[in-house]
Amino acid sequence: MSDPLDLPVAEQAARVRDAADPLTARALVDASLARIAAHNEALNAFLHVAPERARAAADRVDADVAAGRDPGPLAGVPLAVKDNLEVEGLPLTCGSRILGTWKPLRTATSVARAEAAGAVVVGKTNLDEFAMGSSTENSAFGPSRNPYDVERVPGGSSGGSAAAVAAGLVPLALGSDTGGSIRQPAAFCGIVGFKPTYGRVSRSGLVAFASSLDQVGPFARSVADARRLQAVLEGPDPLDATSRAFVTPGSAATPVPRGLEGLRIGRVAEMTTERRVVGTEGVDRVEGLRAQLDAAGATAVDVALPAIAEAIAIYYVIAPAEASSNLARFDGVRYGHRAEADSLERLYAKTRAEGFGAEVKRRILLGTFALSAGYADAFYKRARGAQVALGQAFAEAFERCDVLVSATTPTAAFRLGEKTGDPLAMYRSDVLTVAANLAGLPAVSIPAGFNEQGLPLGLQVQGPVGADALVFDVAEALERQLATCRYVAPEEAA
């Protein structure tokens, strides 16, 4: 590729760090901003673009290089940030109207770590309101569109980040994953999306949806690029009590590239029978890979995980319950939109009625009901017990295999509006991804070819808690085996 913006991230950063190379951080950022200006209208991937901030940051990187200082492993690489992560001085909307024009006074730890490594934030990307959705159609600012077919969704809730990377507007992006919100849009857009083990990346500065499930993670065009970004994100943070150091190595542990020889790759029978519920494309694609895996020397292991059939039900009790609590802070008093009212109670009610969209209201109601007196034992506490059992079932499964491989999504990207009238059908889009969040597992989606309409399909790799490096190793080996990584050139994204 002749355009430096299309090079692997490691090569972009290496050239920027080389004072003798004519490529500068400013040139990379200008190229990214030019692509955004040319193509974002068609995709609605970005809600806010910050050219002045980005160019100033790029100039600081170039000044470090000129002074002989190392700006970091992501030197000058343009980065998009999902708009539920705080970036000081930039609007934070969470895809909602309730925050109004509010701008945070600090930067999320994950974003700050990426910037400290030399990455340059070029803007904030679109999402389902407060990360609640599977299509980005719940955004108060209109849906993002899939670069492969602008009449289809890019997935959600991190659809804007996925579309931006898939269309080549940026090489890297940050998203959040509560029930599949990184992996599902990565699959729909034909790129790589990684959800780390819960606690490996700080959630400080991420606007909470469901605090026990939310995770920040990277989008990229290749596993190596995603791994490079993930390596600078992880590590304990005093601002997030759930973040921690792990005995097992993280993504930064990069041994000699391994193949698939000798790996025990688990296939969960219950994840293939989901074709009866929601579709066949993704499931059938993974079934077709078995011969390739065998030829590469991997051992296929059939694993029974009956508890996974309950994952969606567990998720849609726990996640709305936590959302009900977390979103109570948006009341019109402390920040954001404030409705006119003649009493405090009416101010609360009117502000939230005007500011929240239908899906957010639906989940708040579901969660409030699940936590209410007389129902908490029957719903919330029972779901928590089932969640523990699911985690134990995964631990037992990983005694028989090294990783689990499945489709990321049952189908390719669906058409805009196709599922908006049926919330249950929309919820089932996450049937293959929510279990990893409930169990706190590391999981990645990589491209796995295309369906008959030329739409991307994703392959998901899940590993034991803390085995993020292993998941990346296997994903890189599978990526080489499948050889399906590509992105949509900007001229194709119109």
Q: Is 82 a catalytic residue?
A: yes
Model confidence over 77-114: pLDDT tens digits? 999 999 999 999 999 999 999 999 999 999 999 999 99
The single-letter code of the amino acid at 163 is A
- Report residue 320 as tokens: 């709305």
From the number of C-beta atoms within 10 Å of its C-beta (0-12, 13-18, 19+), residue 300 rates as: middle
How many Cα atoms are found within 13 Å in the side-chain-facing hemisphere of 245?
2
Q: Is 158 a catalytic residue?
A: no
Give the integer Cα–Cα distance in Å for 329 and 93.
14
- Whether the per-residue pLDDT at 187 is higher than 80: the answer is yes
Model confidence over 156-170: pLDDT tens digits? 999 999 999 999 999
Of the residues 82, 124, 195, 419, which is catalytic? 82
**Which of 404, 119, 73, 118 lies closest to 251 in space, CA to CA?**
73
pLDDT, position 91: 96
Residue 268, beta-bridge partner list: 303
Domains and CATH numbers, the chain: 4-262+436-492 (3.90.1300.10)
Helix (H) or strand (E) holding 355: helix 344-355
Of the residues 135, 139, 144, 157, which is catalytic? 157
Give the integer Cα–Cα distance in Å for 472 and 24.
29
Model confidence over 307-346: pLDDT tens digits? 898 999 999 999 999 999 999 999 988 888 888 888 988 9
Mean pLDDT of the chain: 91
Most confident of 31-45, 288-302, 368-382: 31-45
Q: How far apart are the first and last CA of the chain?
A: 20
Of the residues 139, 158, 161, 181, which is catalytic? 181
- Report residue 13 as tokens: 């950063």
Cis preceding-peptide flag for 157 (omega within 30 of 0): yes
Q: Is 181 a catalytic residue?
A: yes
